[in-house]
A and B are shown apart, each in its own frame.
Chain A
């Protein structure tokens, strides 16, 4: 049996075609692009090509910037912290609007900014797992410096109404940032069609290498650098350019966005097949409507089976999946998305996220279905949720003492 990777929202394998294009830029064309000799300048065509590929992948305009960063966490930190410096410390704003279900690189940075005195509004998601534009509108004040809302959710795959939120922000005259990590390469991202001022991206989520991300900046909007140093990337982001990674990101984004509809409908077909098969198990539920999710993702709750035990059994069958719930993470928190969508509290610790890629095969899906069924039967046979003999009178558990 092969190892089966069903955790592509965490990271993806580097496409061998991407790696091939990167290889010459390690030991052959290793020059520093900022050097004026030919060792440096010989890397320029490859970097220019990567930049072109990035611009066309998200349909950025020539007046826009796409700045390479080390990862999306850096891009997210950059936007939030520099907006704080530019608009709050050195301006008359004091407020940021975001959501409860953002990636930790947004939430932790917002918490940090709160400690610095910034007011942050964390919008809850509705029962579908998204934040609606009218909700955003209601929370923007004349002191709001930035709205930061993810394009698609990492746990549920739910796609947020970025076009409508963009319109709201434009009308209100507020800058709009979107963490596009789970969107770019999975769904169409066309920055001529939507009004977003900043978009964070990460190469390793679309079969590029780790350690390289990017930040799209509409109309080259002013934004104090996060990393000060030499005049790299037009002085917007210092640090010697990671040439092989930039080349890799360019190739990866091209591969991921060319024929996007075709590739994604293939992935969606496999995802749907897997999802439908698992939903045949009794007492299971998937978060959000299929058509409103990224095509590769679903978060399924299996009643009576704690998330980490399911991961354990799947792992024994060589399948890698994920859970945002309790025991698998360091902090023992319940799954934020499950709580947010208002699922039964009993289901808070039962979420399993399966995320496919263009490399997922039909055979793999079948193996996952078999292993998932086997694990569900075994774990439910152990589970107190499915026990028949009831507690002795007085032996019932008291109310859960955990704060959710």
Chain B
């Protein structure tokens, strides 16, 4: 929210002139019939995508020759101006390409072809979704022609179709930049900045992956990693640890190298507190069970605990029984 967002209702002003022109006068709307293709010895492919109940539907017609080249293409579309303009441009981009080349056309190619100025988007963010349908229907047509599954054209999992951002990219960006909110993800990747379906369930369209879940998963992973690192830091530099990490590290050493001997003699110990000064790290402990009152507890045993901690963690540790 800022000055530029204060006034609504500028939707149509954000359409490029090309979008308006293609809406007013689509060049490629129409149908291709089986008879025409039979006469030309070509193959007709007709694919639908979307539905009226979604607000957007497109039917794509391809006439493909024996060398897999799309000789002619047409479309019919139920949708708003940007849907019609996107379909028209998509069809134009298909003509003359082989089916395999056509599959490489993405919604972003379609949107860029609709721009008046290469730097200014052809449609406002919430309308990017319309061009996605243009891409989806190409995949559908190609899968019919090649007799393969649509999924086989996708090399990676696309979470945000509008901006074509993959799951892998999102996971990396969240991790590397330590992103904490969906807004930050949108700022970094544009994902979720258009039709918003991929942000969370309940949007324009059901999705397999949602940004909120991806963020939560990656954050959880990062937290676990951090905790694991903290635990591993027992082997790391004791001086740079936080107080909690220091207590854990001391506990770990006691568990590993000291407690078993005390328990063998029917005793035990616990850490009461840690106080740090410039010179020393004082570890206050209390003996439990048989250790309590044992003569060695202030001599041999104490010496052995202190030297073990000094050896494993830091040379300036003092152990003080209370």
Chain A interfacial positions (CB closer than 8 Å to B)? 304-309, 312, 315-316, 325-328, 330, 332, 334, 345-350, 381-392, 394-397, 399-404
Contacts and interface: CB of A to CB of B under 8 A. Distances in A.
Main secondary structure of the interface of B (DSSP, over half): mixed
Interface in B194-215: 195, 201-206
Interface in B1-40: 8, 11-12, 23-24, 26, 29, 31-34
A392 B140 CA distance: 11
B231 to A, nearest CB: 39
Contacts of A399: 51
A358 B278 CA distance: 87
A349 B31 contact: no
Nearest to A390: B46
A187 to B, nearest CB: 29
19 contacts: A306-B52, A306-B56, A306-B83, A315-B12, A325-B55, A327-B82, A327-B83, A348-B53, A382-B29, A384-B77, A384-B78, A386-B76, A387-B59, A395-B47, A395-B48, A395-B141, A397-B48, A401-B54, A401-B205
Nearest to A347: B52
Contacts, number: 135
For the complex of A and B, the 5 pairs showing the least CB-CB separation, nearest first, are A327-B80, A326-B55, A345-B53, A308-B80, A397-B48
A402 B47 contact: no
Residue among B51, B129, B205 with the highest chain A CB neighbour number at 10 A: B51
A309 B81 contact: yes
Residue among B76, B126, B129, B141 with the highest chain A CB neighbour number at 10 A: B76
Nearest to A326: B55
Nearest to A401: B206
Question: What range describes how many residues of B lie at the interface?
Answer: 35 or more
B45 A316 contact: no
Contacts of A304: 52, 78
B50 interface: yes
B5 to A, nearest CB: 11
A305 B58 CA distance: 13
A287 B232 CA distance: 68
Interface string B111-154: 00000000000000011011000000000110010000000000
B246 to A, nearest CB: 43
A384 B45 contact: no
B44 interface: yes
B96 interface: no
A397 B53 CA distance: 12
